[in-house]
Amino acid sequence: MFPEYITDLQYWYGSAPRPGVNSRFIVSHDNIRAPYWPINPNSFGGQIGASNKGDLLGDIYRLLGGVVIRNNGQTPMYAGYQASAFILPKGTNNNRIAAAGAEDLPSPDGVPARFFLVPIRPGMVYPVGATFGAVLQIDPVVPCSVVFKLMAPNGTTFIATGSGDQYGYFIAADRWHLTSQGCGPTL
């Protein structure tokens, strides 16, 4: 209530976003009650981008968090973490930690894979004349090479290649002007 009197400050934060939905976010100190995050059977309060059925098989989450310690007269200390999480089949009770890329993971369309390339904002629509640059989230975070193709209805193909970074993202160096309707990407 009175931040001007704080001499020592310690807190932690955690979040569980998935593309298009911020499903969970907490900033707290050591006596938070019930920070457990159960699988969500509802529509995340009607957020845009959330399924009306809540979590579905293969939904991908990016788990982010960290700790901050700022004590009076000391150098502040920070620590962070990042991981990926996937919703497993109902009733498997198979919650576990696996090395990134160590096993096939479920997906919403039923096709398992070792990793997934996820658009940051699924379903985005761009007006003709907009500038577009490919940005993909890689889950789990594994080193991979990416070839991104954007095909226009007139047959023009734009290609971007590169590798994911240590944070699990691919950001194309090239940007393209969208000059016709109906372009669609392939990976």
- Work out the burial of residue 168: count CB atoms within 10 Å of its CB; fewer than 13 is exposed, 13-18 middle, 19 or more buried: buried
Amino acid at 91: G
Res 34: pLDDT: 62
- Choose among 125, 128, 180: nearest CA to 152: 180
At 91-115, the pLDDT tens digits run: 777 777 888 888 888 887 778 888 8
Mark whether 11 and 70 lie in a shared domain: yes
Same domain, 61 and 127: no
Residues 95 and 124 in one domain: no
**Is pLDDT at 171 greater than 90 in this prediction?**
yes
Instruction: Please report how many Cα atoms fall inside a 13 Å half-sphere around the Cα of residue 32, on the Cβ side.
Output: 14
Q: pLDDT class for 178, splitting at 50, 70, 90?
A: confident
Residue 30: inside a domain: yes
Query: Comparing 163 with 87, which gets the higher pLDDT?
Result: 163
Residue 108 lies in a domain: no
DSSP for residue 153: T
Average pLDDT over residues 63-92: 88
CB 27, CB 48: distance < 8 Å: no
Instruction: Give the tens place of pLDDT for each residue, 112-134.
Output: 888 888 876 656 788 888 898 88
Pair 75, 13 in one domain: yes
* Residue 84 sits in the same domain as residue 139: no
- State the Cα–Cα distance between residues 144 and 165, nearest whole angstrom: 9
**CA atoms of 120 and 139, how far apart (whole Å):** 12
Same domain, 10 and 94: yes
At residue 68, the pLDDT reads 93
Enter the tokens of residue 116. Answer: 């997934």
Look up tokens 């398992």; give the residue. Answer: 112
> Both tokens of residue 120?
């940051």
| Domain of 155, in residue numbers | 117-186
Asked if 11 and 95 sit in the same domain, the reply is: yes
Q: State how far the Cα of 91 lies from the Cα of 111, in Å rounded to an integer.
A: 19
Q: What is the pTM of this model?
A: 0.72
Give a yes or no: residue 89 inside a domain. yes
How many domains are contained in the chain?
2
**Is 87 in the same domain as 121?**
no
Could you tell me the two tokens for 178? Answer: 């969208």
Over the stretch 3-62, which tens digit does the pLDDT of each residue have? 788 889 888 888 888 777 777 788 887 777 666 666 667 777 677 767 777 788 888 888
Q: Which residues of 34-69 are buried (b: 16+ CB within 10 A; e: fewer)?
A: eeeeeebeeebeeeeebeeeebeebbbbbeeeeeee
